[in-house]
Amino acid sequence: MLEQSARVVESSSAGVWVEAVEPSGCGTCGGQGCSTRKIAEMLQRRPRQFQVDSDLELLPGERVVIGIAEGSVLRAALRSYGVPLLLMLLGALLAQWFWPGDLAAVGGMLLGGLAGWLGLRQSTIPLPMVVRKETQDGIWLRKGV
């Protein structure tokens, strides 16, 4: 499972909105200011907020660890990019097979891309989930405990 530290921003009935806590460098120099840390500070982005599933009762400001299953990022990328691209190519090949010419191939490609886009709109993507949270004592509570 891929894990990332985050801070709870808002709790709702649909899930929890969190903000990722990103380190400012690799940490091997102990924060002495190596070039990697300086470059990371220059390129630091605005914090991004996103929604995750949670079985725990969380309050804004609490620190949590969120996780996503191994391979789910690759599956989501293949589904988002691979399926429409494959359908575009198949549409172009089928149109070219039945009606030779570039215009038919472009039309088949557009229809295949539209079919892929419409198909993906109907599918759901699993959200990351809160794996554990940190208490005031520094103890990490696992999900469901």
> What CATH number does the domain containing 22 carry?
2.40.50
Residue 61, judged by CB atoms within 10 A of its CB (0-12, 13-18, 19+), counts as: exposed
Q: Which domain holds residue 110?
A: 72-122
Are 59 and 81 in a shared domain?
no
**Which residue in 8, 9, 6, 10 sits closest to 20, CA to CA?**
6
Are 6 and 56 in a shared domain?
yes
Are 12 and 47 in a shared domain?
yes
pLDDT tens digits, residue range 1-49? 778 788 888 887 777 888 876 655 555 565 555 666 566 666 666 667 8
Which tokens in the block code for residue 67?
A: 């996780």
Q: What pLDDT is stored for residue 145 in this prediction?
A: 47
Domain count, the chain: 2
Residue 115, amino acid: A
Are 53 and 6 in a shared domain?
yes
3-state secondary structure 7-37: EEEEEECCEEEEEECCCCCCCCCCCCCCHHH
pTM surpassing 0.85?
no
Are 64 and 132 in a shared domain?
yes
pLDDT tens digits, residue range 49-87? 888 888 788 888 888 888 888 888 788 888 888 889 999
Are 59 and 107 in a shared domain?
no
Q: Give the pLDDT band (50/70/90) at residue 98.
A: very high
Mean pLDDT of all residues in 104-133: 86
**Which residue in 45, 60, 50, 63 sits closest to 5, CA to CA?**
63
Are 19 and 7 in a shared domain?
yes
Beta bridge partners of 18: 8, 50
> Are 83 and 112 within 8 A, CB to CB?
no
Are 118 and 130 in a shared domain?
no
Are 7 and 64 in a shared domain?
yes
Cα separation, 64 vs 3, in Å, equals 10
